Amino acid sequence: MKYLYKVSVIFTYIFFSSSFLFPQEKSYPLINDIKFFNGQWQFENINDVNGYDHPEGKSPFVPTDEFNTTIFSSSNTVVIPNLVSTVSDSILVSGVDTWLYDLNFQTFITHSYSSDLDITLRSPSGKIVTVSTDNGTNNADVFDGTIWDDQANPGGQVPYTNNSGLVTDHSYSNQITASPLAPEESFSLFMGENPNGWWLLTISDDQNNDGGSLNGWSIEIITSTLVPTMLTTTFSNNNGLQIPTIVTVDSVMINVSGADDYLVDVDLTTWLRHTYASDLDMTLKSPAGTVVTLTTDNGSGNDNVFNGTFWDDQANTGGQVPYGNNNGLVTDNFYTNLITATPLAPEESFAAFLGEDPNGTWILTISDDAGGDGGTLDSVSLHITTSADILPVELTSFKYQIIDGSIILNWITTSELNNLGFEIQRSKGNGNWETLGFVEGKRTTTETNFYSFIDKNLKNNTIYSYRLKQIDSDGTFKYSSIVKVNYQTVTSYNLSQNFPNPFNPGTKITFIIPEAGNVKLTVHNIIGEIVSTLVNRKMEEGVHSIIFDATAFPSGIYVYRIEVNDFVSTKKMMLVK
């Protein structure tokens, strides 16, 4: 997303989990290799599990780690001069699966007048997503650390004045990072592409007198090891809806039934006649309660511009900044009176619905925020694309730790639907599974939930396999991927990844030392300064855990470092407030 601004720049791409302040060391982690980004744990080729058969003889099950997450970063500094200009920088993505499922990225942009900035992201295939145009008002540095994510804003029902989490309607504050934000155009435009190649971040400053710099950015690539089979079904409401010539809010419902329970894409067609289109704000709410903003105050004074509009995240594949208009994007389209603007990419991404069960009642809400003009919604059609190949991504982490002689299993869900709970099952590699216990689920929720189970009945020098049997309220079930643990006494040093991560305000840091020694455990800011010393004393051999309380610290990336005897190790962690 950025071109070179000066003579020569070194492009870098690093995994998010690597350290760049201190030398790397050999490590023997007791925790499976997973990543955390924007509130979600993601698998990264854990145990190379690609699927297995149900022991009951059912059809092969594709576990959730069919989705692999890799994060690439650039630490380049690119100056944004205080005059009308366009700058760019690039990141090379390589070695990942060839079917892109989802994408998020983070920017570190300082600028003294944020609404001067227009930002786009271009994929290796040449498709371009508008991230932001003229947002942030006159505030400084609001995109310094912003995580851009199609799923950043699950709420925001019209009518509203502000809709924090959506870049076009967010309430900004000077020098306060706005994060996370849903971009102005959907990243789902890139779904299904081969993400390997150069990605380009472009920043256009369309006014003089204010400047800043791009101080680095990261791109999170979520890919699938399979190409899912997809099916699109259309559901309509043809009952009609009158929109009176007064300030009003009206809704219509669309009932969806019989669809597969994993939603991949949503499109919408509106047959809406209305004089003075910019009076209209429209949202679409899913059965799960997620709300997407289609448009707020777009179309200017033109009539009937949404009469036959096909709303589609993939409507606009171009639009490189700087531009005056960007036809196909609802916020920047050039409208003409009595001419239907179609297709249009909505103001917020339909990818906010990704992975939900589409069956149930959908609600289209239309808010007319000014009197004097009215109209009619004659018909609306909802086009639902689902896949039976992909299971709902509810379980986003399943990992283990060895602490005080016990194996601690930790798992995280980001949403649950009728989840009765989890049976914890263990095998010693002989194909026989025993049930160790049961952990009750949260039934139905869209919140992130953390679960743990401790296995103390262990034999040394044994390889154990664990899996979760997730059981629904109706008795149906599915299995997680398998986690293998080589259980043996402590023979080497190890600094584990903190948990949870990201965190607010506290997180646990665990380390193992095979012999007594003076332990120094410090926390550093992003420029390497020590901001806290957690331990500086002699400690005995064994497994130790320390809580880091970051109540007094600002959000950001921190590095923790351990020094004991001849062992030195560092890891990153993220504080998100």
CATH number of 2-31+62-224: 2.60.120.260
Q: Give, as one character, the DSSP assignment of residue 498.
A: P
Phi and psi for 121 in degrees, rounded to 5?
Answer: -125, 125
- In terms of average pLDDT, the best of 60-74, 334-348, 349-363 is 334-348
Rounded to a whole number, what is the largest CA-CA distance in the chain? 80
- Identity at 523, one-letter amino acid code: V
In three-state form (DSSP H/G/I as H, E/B as E, the rest C), the secondary structure along 276-330 is: CHHHEEEEEECCCCCEEEEEECCCCCCCCCCEEEEECCCCCCCCCCCCCCCCCEC
pLDDT band at residue 395 under the 50/70/90 scheme: confident
Percent of the chain, pLDDT > 70?
86
Beta-bridge partners for 455 = 407
CATH 2.60.40.10-classified regions of the chain: 395-487
* β-bridge pairing 416-427 and 434-445: antiparallel
Q: CB–CB of 127/328 below 8 Å?
A: no
Say which range, 83-97, 203-217, 390-404, 459-473, has the weakest mean pLDDT. Answer: 390-404
| φ/ψ of residue 119, rounded to 5 | -130, 135
CA-only gyration radius of the chain, Å:
25
Eight-state DSSP code of residue 47: G
Distance CA 12, CA 531 (A): 27
Beta bridge partner(s), residue 102: 222
- The whole model's pTM is what? 0.62
Evaluate whether 13 touches 561 at the Cβ level (below 8 Å).
no
Contact residues for 476 (Cβ-Cβ < 8 A; gap 6+): none
What's residue 474's pLDDT? 66
What percent of the chain is modeled with pLDDT above 90?
65
Q: What is the pLDDT confidence band of residue 470, given thresholds at 50, 70 and 90? A: confident
Which of 216, 184, 166, 200 lies closest to 117 in space, CA to CA?
184
pLDDT recorded at residue 260: 85
Confidence of residue 443 (pLDDT cuts 50, 70, 90): confident
- Give the model confidence (pLDDT) of 372-389 as tens digits: 999 999 999 999 999 876
In this prediction, residue 32 carries a pLDDT of 29
CA-CA distance, 519 to 540, in Å (whole number)?
A: 9
pLDDT at 426 over 80: yes
d(CA 513, CA 349): 48
Average pLDDT over residues 192-212: 96
Non-local (6+) Cβ contacts of 7 within 8 A are none
DSSP secondary structure code for residue 387 in this structure: E
Q: Which CATH architecture has domain 230-387?
A: Sandwich (2.60)
Integer Cα distance of 318 and 334 in angstroms: 15
For residues 243 and 221, give the distance between their C-alpha atoms in angstroms, rounded to a whole number. 43
Cα gap 231→197, rounded to integer Å:
29
Neighbours of 455 (CB within 10 A): 18
Please, how many CA atoms are within 13 Å of residue 576, restricted to the half-sphere of its CB?
17
Residue 354 has pLDDT above 90, yes or no: no
What CATH architecture applies to the domain 395-487?
Sandwich (2.60)
Question: Which residues in the chain are classed under CATH 2.60.40.2550?
Answer: 494-575
Q: Under 8 Å CB-to-CB from 250, ≥6 apart: which residues?
A: 241, 242, 243, 365, 366, 377
Q: Which residues face 28 on adjacent strands?
A: none
pLDDT tens by residue, 287-305: 989 999 999 999 999 999 9
For residue 177, the model assigns a pLDDT of 95
Query: What mean pLDDT is predicted for residues 414-437?
Result: 85
357 pLDDT tier (thresholds 50, 70, 90): confident
Q: What is the CATH number of domain 494-575?
A: 2.60.40.2550
Peptide bond into 159 cis (omega under 30): yes
Tell me which amino acid residue 282 is.
Answer: M
Q: For 243-260, what is the mean pLDDT?
A: 94
pLDDT at 159 over 70: yes
Average pLDDT for 37-45: 33
Query: Which regions of the chain carry the CATH code 2.60.120.260?
Result: 2-31+62-224, 230-387
Other CB atoms within a 10 A radius of the CB of residue 385 amount to 18
Of the listed ranges 60-74, 269-283, 415-429, 523-537, the one predicted with least confidence: 60-74
